[in-house]
Amino acid sequence: MDGTYIIGICGGSGSGKTTIVRQIEEIVPDFVFIPQDNYYKSAKHINNRNITAFNFDHPDAFDTDLLYEQLMELKNGRAVDMPQYDFVHHCRSDNTVRVEPKKVIIYEGIMIYSDRRIRDIVDLKLFVDTPSDVRFIRRMKRDIEERGRTVDSVIKQYLEVVRPGHIEFIEPTKAFADLIIPEGGYNQMALQVLTSFISTTLK
């Protein structure tokens, strides 16, 4: 599709990426939303007792080839069947969602800049930079309320894989960002700059 614009929103788990998406939605109401989380590989053997047996905080946890293929299809004006992920059972759902191409694609996730192929087709790269303690609290709340996790399993996963994965794979990709947004959705000044820039660019 001529003139398709891809906005990447990266940041650690619980950094406030969803809040940024909502801010963009106010000025770009009609866009395609592609969450990297939908492209996790299945790990049906995982439960609260062996939660670190599959490392969700490593680039290899994602089906990046499929993700790149579908982003390119959308960029070229063709619809895709986006996978859905069941975070309670840790596996890809049998259902997919039909996504039609639009002028703006918002691509969001924790490791969206890890693969150079994808990095090269993202037009505006954002990084949401939020303190680790805030991210951990938000993650714990989400995982317990929405994903059936226990407090102990969340802590174990955070200490053994989430924190090391953030340091090794997520934090370094901040260097690829065009704009770093400290404190996520609470940084009103940064959000004003972002929305103004996007409005001007898309016009």
For the sheet with 179-182, list strands across it. 32-35, 104-109, 5-11, 124-129, 179-182
pLDDT digits (tens, 9 = 90+) for 141-156: 988 998 888 999 899 9
Tokens of 27: 């000025």
How far is the C-alpha of 70 from the C-alpha of 134, rounded, in Å?
33
CB 30 within 8 Å of CB 104: yes
The more confident residue out of 198 and 112 is 112
107 pLDDT band, cuts 50/70/90, is very high
Has residue 200 got a pLDDT over 80? no
CATH topology of domain 5-202: Rossmann fold (3.40.50)
Tell me 48's DSSP state: S
Q: List beta partners, residue 83.
A: 96
Evaluated on CA atoms 149, 90, 128, 108, the torsion sign reads negative
| AA letter at 142 | R
Has residue 36 got a pLDDT over 60? yes
- Burial class for 24, CB neighbours closer than 10 Å (0-12, 13-18, 19+): buried
pLDDT of res. 30: 83
Mean pLDDT of 158-175: 93
Tokens of 26: 């106010």
| Domain boundaries defined on the chain | 5-202
Has residue 57 got a pLDDT over 80? yes
Strands 80-86 and 91-99: antiparallel
pTM over 0.85: yes
How far is the C-alpha of 89 from the C-alpha of 67, rounded, in Å?
21
